[in-house]
Amino acid sequence: MVVSASAGNGASGSAARRASEENMRSMVDKVSAFIFDCDGVIWRGDSVIDGVPETLDMLRAMDKRLVFVTNNSTKSRAGYLGKFTSLGLNVSAEEIYSSSYAAAAYLESIDFPTDKKVYVVGEVGIQEELDLKGIAHIGGPADADKKISLKPGFALPHDPDVGAVVVGFDRNINYFKIQTAQLCISENPGCLFIATNLDAKTHLTDAQEWAGNGAMVGAIKGAVKRDPIVVGKPAEFMLANIATQFGLHRNQICMVGDRLDTDILFGQQGGLSTMLVLSGVTTEAALLHPENGIHPDFYMSQLSDLLSIKAAPVAV
């Protein structure tokens, strides 16, 4: 099922209406590139969503440029290539853009001082991308088992050379990491507070939703009373960096995602066309709820709904 969610690009408050194959064809014909979220669009947990391989093959056959974007920072681009390959998806490393890479690219873009280091609350994906940029870092998985034994007069030491704290999804978040992060941000002059994303929930398995990076960021934000610099969706930095890196014009891009407040907002704020799929976080009830103010150009049950245009005549 494919439905038009608004009369215009991202208009709010419009009644949803079904879209015909001609509407879908028009959308596909007018863009030269698709940016896909991964979790909930391409896969759920470790399972590829039905019809995705065929849909991607169809779009490639139509000479569309494909870029795969994920807010999940647990893997680097190389790590995600392994996941795509394991799921039988024909994707190249150059087509992948992760929030772990976005964090490293942001630090590079601001000429992060070479005499400073990054404290990582997160997993190996962030560290691998920092390594590729030559940015020194500490923390991450190495602090997974560290504990604090509180006693009178105890003060946890922290590294004064930390110039940025990067917070990504961390399955081994603990009090040591939270305290170290807040000390660096609060006490090191000019220390940056960077979040790969603020996603409330994520898909670690295909059985249920799990607390996302917003929970990790929220714990530290609550301590430092500062908002982080967000580099993943829906942040402008990520889109600008993608457009530059891939040589894309925004009016020729369609963003496809499963989240209203990240994927669709990311596309709307950046001037892209948008498609929502219901195979991930967002339900049809949530999309059509009167209090929802974020409406994609179109929505569909899952990405493979696009296969219905395969036999349709190509516009001249």
Higher-pLDDT residue of 89 and 17 is 89
60 in the same domain as 170: no
Counting every residue written for the chain, the total comes to 316
Q: Where is the domain boundary, 230, 264, 292? A: 230
Same domain assignment for residues 240 and 222: no
Whether residue 135 is found in the same domain as residue 215 = yes
In a domain, 171, yes or no: yes
Q: Is the pLDDT of residue 26 over 90?
A: no
Q: Are residues 209 and 246 in the same domain?
A: no
- Please report, as a single letter, which amino acid is at residue 271: G
pTM, whole model, 2 decimals?
A: 0.85
User: pLDDT digits over 205-242, tens only?
Assistant: 778 889 999 999 999 999 999 999 999 998 999 999 99
- Decide which of 180, 213, 230 is a domain's last residue: 230
Same structural domain, 210 and 117:
yes
For the chain, how many structural domains are there in total? 2
Residue range 281-300, pLDDT digits in tens: 899 999 999 999 999 998 99
Q: How confident is the model at residue 1 (pLDDT cuts 50, 70, 90)?
A: low
124 and 65 within one domain: no
Q: Are strands 2-4 and 192-195 parallel, antiparallel or unpaired?
A: unpaired
Upstream peptide bond of 234 is cis (omega within 30 degrees of 0): yes
Q: How distant, in Å, are the alpha carbons of 53, 107, 184 from that of 135?
A: 36, 8, 17
211 & 247 share domain: no
Same domain, 166 and 225: yes
Query: Exposure string (b/e) for 213-227, b if CB count within 10 Å is 16 or more?
Result: bbbbbbbbbeebeee
Q: Do both 36 and 142 map to the same domain?
A: no
Residue 93 lies in a domain: no
Answer with the one of 199, 214, 230 that is the final residue of a domain.
230
On whether residue 147 sits in a domain, the answer given is yes
| Tokens 């991964």, residue located | 38
Q: Is the pLDDT of residue 127 over 70?
A: yes
Whether 79 maps to a domain, the answer reads: no
User: Exposed e or buried b for every residue in 169-180, given b needs 16+ CB within 10 A?
Assistant: bbeebbebbbeb
Assigned domain for 25 exists:
yes
Burial of residue 279, with CB atoms counted within 10 A of its CB: 0-12 exposed, 13-18 middle, 19 or more buried? buried
233 is in an annotated binding site: yes
| For range 60-78, the mean pLDDT | 94
Distance CA 196, CA 228 (A): 9
pLDDT band of 25, cuts 50, 70, 90: confident
Residues 118 and 220 in one domain: yes
> Does residue 67 lie within any of the structural domains?
yes
Clarify whether residues 189 and 140 are in a common domain: yes
Beta strand residue intervals within the chain, DSSP E: 2-4, 17-18, 33-37, 43-44, 47-48, 65-70, 96-98, 117-121, 137-139, 162-167, 192-195, 201-202, 210-211, 229-230, 253-257, 273-277, 298-300
**What CA–CA distance (Å, rounded) separates 275 from 267?**
9
CATH of the domain at 222: 3.40.50.1000
227 marked as part of a ligand binding site: no
Distances (CA, A) of 5 to 9, 14, 37, 279, 290: 9, 7, 19, 16, 13
Catalytic-role residue among 29, 37, 111, 161: 37
- Determine whether 39 is an active site residue: yes
So what's the pLDDT on residue 17?
42
Contact indicator for 58, 88 with CB cutoff of 8 Å = no
37 included as an active-site residue? yes
On whether residue 215 sits in a domain, the answer given is yes
Do the beta carbons of residue 90 and residue 56 sit within 8 Å?
yes
**Residue 316 confidence (pLDDT):** 47
- Does 83 appear as a known binding residue? no
> Taking all residues of the chain, what is their mean pLDDT, rounded to a whole number?
90
Distance between CA 235 and CA 36 in Å, rounded? 16
Q: Is residue 99 part of a domain?
A: no
CA dihedral 47→312→36→51, nearest 10 degrees, is 0
Confidence of residue 5 (pLDDT cuts 50, 70, 90): low
For residues 206 and 154, membership in a common domain is answered with yes
Structural domain boundaries, residue 226: 111-230
